[in-house]
Amino acid sequence: MTATQFILPESELPRAWYNLNADMPVPMLPPLHPGTQEPITPEFLSVLSPMALLGQDVSPEAEIEIPEPVRDIYKLWRPTPLLRAKRLEEALETPAHIYYKYEGVSPVGSHKPNTAIAQAFYLKDEGGKAFTTETGAGQWGSALALACSFFDLGCEVFMVRVSYDQKPFRRNVMESYGASVYASPSNRTECGRNMLADDPNHPGSLGTAISEGIEAAVTSNGEKKYSLGSFLPHVLLHQTVIGEEALKQMDMAGEYPDIVIGCAGGGSNFGGIAFPFIRENVRNARGTRIIAAEPAACPTLTRGSYTWDWADNAGLAPICKMHTLGHTFIPPRIHAGGLRYHGMSPQVSALVDGGYVEAVALDQVDTFEAGVMFARTEGILPAPESNHAVRAAVNEAVACKATGEEKVILFNLSGHGNFDMQAYADYHDGTLERYEYPEEDIQNALTRLPDVSFAG
């Protein structure tokens, strides 16, 4: 009988993050200034971000050392466990071996502190005082609030209004860690006031909250910097601690994955589990299939265009080459709040465009069905976002049943769903709706892309 849990000792906590820039198999274009459309300068970005993080974004080094104070804090919950989902395999009657990496053991229940702790460390190191940020469902805000409290920094969170209303307890978590939380759009920023003037019932989106967070930092005379919890190369870099640990743990299990799966909102937990395995594909000709799972209601990778677009709603953030549904896209109010974003990490986008990563879009009802099945077999109630990865893994395992193939499937369980009871209540009540984003609305939003002539 093979083991169920694969636990690494503290001494095996990785000493370096893996930087995919070193092995990127497809060309990347730089982010452009939102106004001039010229490649962005460090001066523009240094208003927003600690210099160390900007350096990491463009570093060609494959390994970037994890500072000791960051490793010390990681040790509060890392290395995280990797488990074989034997009871799920049995329930599915699949010959496939299903493994999952569990990031829900962090203090806030998701992978997000992996980057929040690192970002707060660098801000403190450079003499910064506070971070402003956006949050969707509240997971990112909780992670950054936690990190800022560890490093004695201020934390100002703009929370997407629909989540602020639906998930008040997340706000209490952030406030417990000492953060200030505002519903976005808010009247604290000019862009927020404009959005409210257009629509007093504006539900908000990650894009609106990003615009507000940026404005609050830019107008703070250098007091505050802006932190982003996904999307950027340094965020995905910090998350690679997940995949580096998983590589060692799969080795302990004596197997190597044929398929690696992560859910994708901005791309950070997906990049975190996938990039070290993409390195093995590129350097060592491993043939692992890498799959990004997204909502059918916000189908950025599967139905968006790979083109230039602003990273936020108001056009204050850089223009990036990425998969996008258009910066004016307002995603429907699905429960996987962390996956409601019009764009996607430029690195993940380029990998999908180049055929190195596959993408699948899943309906939320199907993802909850898989999540409940996972809870009943493995015990953990997954976050609604993570349910997309669970569903994709279940689909692959069911395909193995049909073909009789004994494939090894690894997915990232990015967080637990203990703060998402309304979503589960709706699922059990049968009020959770099937929803596919209408093609007409996608085409409409794509007519409002920036007209970029930059060719690289």
Ligand X SMILES: *Cc1c(COP(=O)(O)O)cnc(C)c1O
- In the complex, the residues that contact ligand X under the rule CB under 6 A are 110, 112, 139-140, 230, 263-270, 338-339, 383, 385-386, 414-415
Closer Cβ to ligand X, 196 or 382, answer by number: 382
Q: Which residues, 6+ apart, have CB-to-CB distance to 323 below 8 Å?
A: 300, 301, 304, 305, 306, 343, 344, 348, 349, 352, 353
Half-sphere exposure of 386 (CA within 13 A, CB side): 28
Bin 379: left if φ > 0, else alpha if -120 < ψ < 50, else beta.
left
Residue 193 Cβ vs ligand X, minimum distance, rounded to whole Å: 27
Residue 102 Cβ vs ligand X, minimum distance, rounded to whole Å: 11
Q: Which of 360, 389, 357, 399 is nearest to 96 (CA)?
A: 399
Closer Cβ to ligand X, 97 or 238, answer by number: 238
Closer Cβ to ligand X, 257 or 343, answer by number: 343
Closer Cβ to ligand X, 19 or 110, answer by number: 110
Closer Cβ to ligand X, 97 or 141, answer by number: 141
Nearest-angstrom CA–CA distance, 86 and 97: 8
Quickly count: other Cβ atoms within 10 Å of residue 42's Cβ: 12
Closer Cβ to ligand X, 177 or 196, answer by number: 177
Residue 167 Cβ vs ligand X, minimum distance, rounded to whole Å: 12
Residue 406 Cβ vs ligand X, minimum distance, rounded to whole Å: 29
Give 250's strand partners.
none
C-alpha of 117 from chain center: 15
Closer Cβ to ligand X, 243 or 266, answer by number: 266
**Token pair 């004994």 in the structure block, residue:** 406
Residue 2 Cβ vs ligand X, minimum distance, rounded to whole Å: 28
Backbone CA torsion sign across 146, 147, 149, 150: positive
Residue 422 Cβ vs ligand X, minimum distance, rounded to whole Å: 16
Q: Which of 305, 338, 339 is nearest to 322 (CA)?
A: 305
Buried b (16+ CB within 10 A) or exposed e, 164-202: bebbeebbebbeebebebbbbbbeebebbeebbeeeeeb
SS (H, E, C) 96-138: CEEEEEECCCCCCCECCHHHHHHHHHHHHHCCCCEEEEEECCC
**Distance between the two ends of the chain, CA-based, in angstroms?**
55
Closer Cβ to ligand X, 267 or 318, answer by number: 267
Residue 451 Cβ vs ligand X, minimum distance, rounded to whole Å: 28
Residue 455 Cβ vs ligand X, minimum distance, rounded to whole Å: 29
Residue 412 Cβ vs ligand X, minimum distance, rounded to whole Å: 8
Give 5's strand partners.
83
Residue 9 Cβ vs ligand X, minimum distance, rounded to whole Å: 26
Closer Cβ to ligand X, 267 or 346, answer by number: 267
Length of the chain: 456
Residue 153 Cβ vs ligand X, minimum distance, rounded to whole Å: 21
| Backbone phi, psi, residue 391, to 5° | -60, -45
Residue sitting closest to ligand X (CB): 415
| Residue 237, SS3 per DSSP | helix
Q: Which of 257, 264, 337 is nearest to 289 (CA)?
A: 257
C-alpha of 103 from chain center: 12
Closer Cβ to ligand X, 322 or 400, answer by number: 322
Closer Cβ to ligand X, 74 or 102, answer by number: 102
